[in-house]
Structure 1
């Protein structure tokens, strides 16, 4: 404390201009890298720490020459689609989209092969297959050919033939993968401890090059999507058009978050300022919190820019939370300053300021360090963006504390506020009403808290972790409407790949390499043991097993369009006069399929080089009862038990898997996080209050506040998702602030007369006032978030407000009732209260 006194007496209070000038230089330095501050909603930002699913996803895409990097344009013409005019309008739209520089190619009913010629056979496929682009095919003939083809319905055309789709492919440049592989190679060396100093430098360069190139690609892709939207707008008078696809979902998520950060961030700030103006009615008490909050956020954004640390969908909330925490610190200082100013109006302004800082630095430091522990516990999560969020808040809270206790005294030393005659420490009606209620109905407070706790446990037991992308957006948004259209009419939204590996051990090997010396007939049986045949999938038995897999996947209610080699065989059977291919014809499928069709019919589904077969599935995101983990478990169980595949032969990958991995870790992570938070806070309370009884009393309101938020989510059927996971930790962090301030102030007040009830009333009239102002300001400010188009942002605003309310109620009712009941500061009227508390 003496060192702190010397710091303020020698540096900050006598030289406020110098302090603010030094801060201005620091702010200028931070501003130099504002342009490096970025949002990231890529697949990498949403995967578990050390999760191999992303690498498997990329590997499968490269092996099977497939990708999810495409946009889907749904097109439902106002008139008939299959007419000369309807197809001409569709062709005009397709040509405009295909002309964009970033578009590699497009797929639509106009360029896919039609299988309608009566002369078409496996032998004449090269010459008889036609397309609408290159041949004069009557519209009705084309319609029949498309709808009767197993490949196209629910993919490029709806089953009723009224809606079609244009797949706009946005290929990722090879340079991206080169930079990615180089960065990963060097990162693995560093992780293994085998890297030299030169390789450390190489890694930093490779990392920066990858980040820079990713940002460039992101900007180019956003520009392409905007240009696509402009083109679509020019054609909406002819058709109902929607845009979908993974790149569009990522782009829109970033756009919504950016809009929320700017528009609603400004709105929250305005609400906060208006509320402060109404409460305190002095411009200084609006300016000082504004500057403290602004400087804190300014410095953190600059730091993230310098560190090239991207903000994700989850950690984007750090700006709003830093506003909360910084505002809470400044309001407590303001209220205490006004109390001292009112009680001792004759004291010089600088002495009042010094007394305020000395009185509040200890509880505010306790509050900051305990809240840092609460958010730091998020680093125990297995989810990369949640870990980042925990570190960002840890650093941000440290910055908020330092800024508050530097800027607040420096500004008030320059601009000492006049005495506000409206301030009174005798009676605050609202908070004093809580004190009277707690005094008169103490038993009701305890029983009510117990009932709430029971309801919380029941609600938490009803929590789920399933959610769909479509639920993140309001029904009025284009992204929501596009997903619904694709789900209902074009075979599903979210991609899932099931990969079967043929790695069976050799059995009944051929004698001297002669396949006919074996009892296995390669044209009928699966000669897995014969080296000459184990590398080919095109045998009767293998294709029969794959057909069973396809049929099962297609029968599931959660799946939409399913594509595999079985789809190709069904197409070839259509060409083969409707007859399924026999064993000999199967063996010659790779040779029978024309070269220009292999990238459509073979390579997306069979990788002979890696002995793998791929099933491409689209999941129906709009299905109300969708349970991803249960679906994946059910598929794996069927494949390994009913169809006798080994467990390591079955691989799930795709966006569905990566998103599901994150979702399924949420509940365990939430329990782990809350457990670590409460344990850490209990330890912190023991260190701060040096009393086990006080530590346990301080934990109680935090349990109720955190449990109330999670319990309410459970009762309302709101699932945990990538943003609501942080609500409980946020709640604990907020509740801790009120608990520490109240206990610290109670210890001060009880020293005066040893009367617990009188001390409770004095606390409610003093620190209770600051707690009430803080809660009211934040609840008012964050209510504006309900206007967002991004549903998680709405939930964040609502639950943050609810958390503030529950934390306030718990700190003003349950906590004082427990203190009065257990008397942790010594017996009533005892002169040893101070020693007991310490």
Structure 2
């Protein structure tokens, strides 16, 4: 260690300008790729690591010619909607939206077929179809036609006919799918170790091409959404208008996060500066830690840009956490430096700095390693952004530690702080109050900790992993208001697809048989059981089974609008003078439906090529009792037990499935493994302190701190989601920091007089002060996050502050009380 210290002194402390020059070049290199730093809130960024739900979701959309790439404009006029003026104003709004370059088409009550006419029959449907756009249909007739049609109510128009919707389709270019297929094919080869060197290079090029294309598409889509909003603003004076849809939710989530990173980043910075000024009273003690924090974030942003590593909704918090950890390291060095200044006010600054680094290197290194282990637990998650968050924090903490012991001392060499009155004062710090309390009420500390532990256990048992997208946004935001409107009046928000595959045909079934050559008479009976009918869905028996599925799904309280081939048959029955189609008419449905209605009435629900039928369902996100996993399990059980479908015949797809898979994985990958994380940290404590007693003592405040955060969430009914799950790892990382520093300092101080109580008071006045300053600075700085419009950001600010408070409280009360009680350093001098 002496040899290392000599080398460090010669290379770093003796050449501060050279070190800063080299570091400036590194910062410049990192800055080159700042423009490549990006946020990603796409569906691909939120799925499980090996989850095929996204692939199935895309496959279902392409197979049934459907997509969720559309915006929904809800329109509730102040006056009558179904009047010449009301429909005219709606048409003007629709025309402006449809004229936007990125808009492929629009669907509304203006262009959908009304399918309502006394002369309309199955034979004349092609000639008699009318629309508001093409025909002079009286408004009252339009209203009646829409409300009587099974397809449109709770989809394009509310049941009270007051609210309507315009679906603004934003088609994904075919180039996107070409690049996606190319990237995935090459990625599968590389993962299977079946790729040549050339193919590995092709994968890199394909990934870059895909990233570049998606970034361009994202920018164009954001611009389109802004233009849509500007158009809507010009119509708000006469109507209540809301904007919704998956693209808009993604765009606004990214916008909220960007605003939080910039606006609240500056706010946090201002709070940190103010707190540092109040505590340390010297501009050097404000500038130096802020530069260290800034350099750490600077390098990590540059690295992520160089690596083309996107930041997601979850990992965007890594910047704030790096500020916490870097600030914690620098404040501990600052307080220790000032302690040496206090002991020797005339000491040479370089020697004081050398003493500080020698005293703090080991505890800071231990802190960094154990905190990395805490955040490393996130890499065991099955969720891609959570894994990325774990790796980003691992790399970021490494950078923070290196900057703290390279740039911090260099800056102090160039800007040596003076020993002012705040250093030379012998005033007892506030933290000694905790020492006196612990000494006087030791038993109360233990009993109180036990009570907190019990309450934490009860709270953790109450945790759930259910959440709704609507809970991410304040009631004042457009996303929240739009979701409520769509749920209440237009049939639900989150899409769920259920795909049923047809029964396989017998191995000896004939594929070219003539259905009319059989003994069955299709005019009078159901011929759907014959082998000759197994290659088509349009038989009486199969449609009856699908109708049973449709009716069951429609009966569930969690579902809004349900669409399927049953909806189409209801429409055709209306056209057929109210008579259900018989077996023969069912067989000719594909031929009877006009070509321009195929994409509306047939292909979204039946794929003859793949022998599959699709049910399109909208889930009511605003329903308080919504439990996605229970809902999916209940549906699957009913389809397989009550309706007789095999397990492999039923496929769930859509955003609901992907989001639910992610939520369910949270409990399995994090809550169940947090115990293992504590075991690993205990083992590390054992290696660091070489004492089982100290390892067990050190883990206790960490358990209390992590349990308090999770327990509080349970008691408050705040569910675990992709954001709040990371708080457990954050809490462990923070609590580990305080524990290591306190135990290391206690061991050093105890050797002076082997008096446990006196040592506790000295530790509270020294390292306790650094812990208090760190916690106070972070709690105050991150309190500004409660002003965000993004609820997860608010939770992050609140629970980070609470975690810091609990970690500090445990380290200043429970930890010293356990040390005094168990005496891990041996008997005291008077024993």
The alignment's TM-score, normalised by the length of structure 2, stands at 0.98
Tell me if the contact between 2:529 and 2:541 (Cα under 8 Å) persists in the aligned partners: no
Confirm or deny that 1:113 pairs with 2:123: no
Tell me if the contact between 2:505 and 2:534 (Cα under 8 Å) persists in the aligned partners: no
Question: Post-superposition shift, 1:671?
Answer: 1.7
Tell me if the contact between 1:342 and 1:421 (Cα under 8 Å) persists in the aligned partners: no
Question: Post-superposition shift, 1:684?
Answer: 1.1
Deviations 1:584-615 (A, max 9, x none): 10000000000000000000000000000000
Matches within 5 A, 1:576-591: 576-591=576-591
Tell me if the contact between 1:158 and 1:490 (Cα under 8 Å) persists in the aligned partners: yes
Question: Post-superposition shift, 1:522?
Answer: 6.6
Tell me if the contact between 1:510 and 1:516 (Cα under 8 Å) persists in the aligned partners: no
Confirm or deny that 1:396 pairs with 2:419: no
Deviations 1:693-732 (A, max 9, x none): 1111110000000000000000000000110010000000
Matches within 5 A, 1:340-739: 340-423=340-423, 426-506=426-506, 509=509, 513=513, 524-525=525-526, 527=528, 530=531, 532-739=532-739
Q: Distance in 2 between matches of 1:44 and 1:130?
A: 41
Q: Distance in 1 between matches of 2:407 and 2:530?
A: 77
| 1:65 equivalent in structure 2 | 65
Counterpart of 1:237 in 2: which secondary structure? helix
| 1:834 equivalent in structure 2 | none
| 2:223 equivalent in structure 1 | 223
1:681 to 1:526, Cα distance in 2 relative to 1, 3 A: farther
1:525 to 1:780, Cα distance in 2 relative to 1, 3 A: same
The alignment's TM-score, normalised by the length of structure 1, stands at 0.97
Q: Distance in 1 between matches of 2:70 and 2:621?
A: 18
Tell me if the contact between 1:383 and 1:662 (Cα under 8 Å) persists in the aligned partners: yes
Tell me if the contact between 2:787 and 2:794 (Cα under 8 Å) persists in the aligned partners: yes
Q: Distance in 2 between matches of 1:123 and 1:445?
A: 85
Tell me if the contact between 1:326 and 1:404 (Cα under 8 Å) persists in the aligned partners: yes
Q: Distance in 1 between matches of 2:449 and 2:303?
A: 42
Question: Post-superposition shift, 1:505?
Answer: 4.6
Q: Distance in 2 between matches of 1:567 and 1:315?
A: 43
Question: Post-superposition shift, 1:428?
Answer: 3.4
Counterpart of 2:824 in 1: which secondary structure? coil
Question: Post-superposition shift, 1:670?
Answer: 2.0
| 2:746 equivalent in structure 1 | 746
Matches within 5 A, 1:233-272: 233-272=233-272
Q: Distance in 1 between matches of 2:419 and 2:699?
A: 38
Tell me if the contact between 1:425 and 1:766 (Cα under 8 Å) persists in the aligned partners: no
Q: Distance in 2 between matches of 1:829 and 1:382?
A: 53
Deviations 1:114-171 (A, max 9, x none): 1221000000011101000000000000000000000000000000001000000000
Q: Distance in 2 between matches of 1:174 and 1:675?
A: 47
Q: Distance in 2 between matches of 1:716 and 1:512?
A: 64
Question: Post-superposition shift, 1:828?
Answer: 1.3
Tell me if the contact between 2:497 and 2:653 (Cα under 8 Å) persists in the aligned partners: yes
Q: Distance in 1 between matches of 2:299 and 2:508?
A: 70
Question: Post-superposition shift, 1:517?
Answer: 7.8
Q: Distance in 1 between matches of 2:758 and 2:808?
A: 20
Counterpart of 2:101 in 1: which secondary structure? coil
Q: Distance in 2 between matches of 1:256 and 1:526?
A: 58
Question: Post-superposition shift, 1:435?
Answer: 0.5
Deviations 1:298-348 (A, max 9, x none): 000000000000000000000000000000000000000000001111210
The root-mean-square deviation of aligned C-alpha atoms, in Å, is: 1.5
Tell me if the contact between 1:506 and 1:529 (Cα under 8 Å) persists in the aligned partners: no
Question: Post-superposition shift, 1:805?
Answer: 0.2
Counterpart of 1:430 in 2: which secondary structure? coil
Question: Post-superposition shift, 1:223?
Answer: 0.4
Deviations 1:327-374 (A, max 9, x none): 000000000000000111121011001111111111001001110111
Counterpart of 2:388 in 1: which secondary structure? helix
| Unaligned 5+ runs, structure 2 | none
Question: Post-superposition shift, 1:266?
Answer: 1.1
Counterpart of 2:167 in 1: which secondary structure? strand
Counterpart of 1:798 in 2: which secondary structure? helix
Q: Distance in 2 between matches of 1:264 and 1:521?
A: 74
Deviations 1:265-323 (A, max 9, x none): 11111101100000000000000011000000000000000000000000000000000
Question: Post-superposition shift, 1:509?
Answer: 4.6
Higher mean Cα deviation, 642-651 or 666-675? 666-675
Higher mean Cα deviation, 371-380 or 418-427? 418-427
Q: Distance in 1 between matches of 2:347 and 2:447?
A: 46
Question: Post-superposition shift, 1:430?
Answer: 2.1
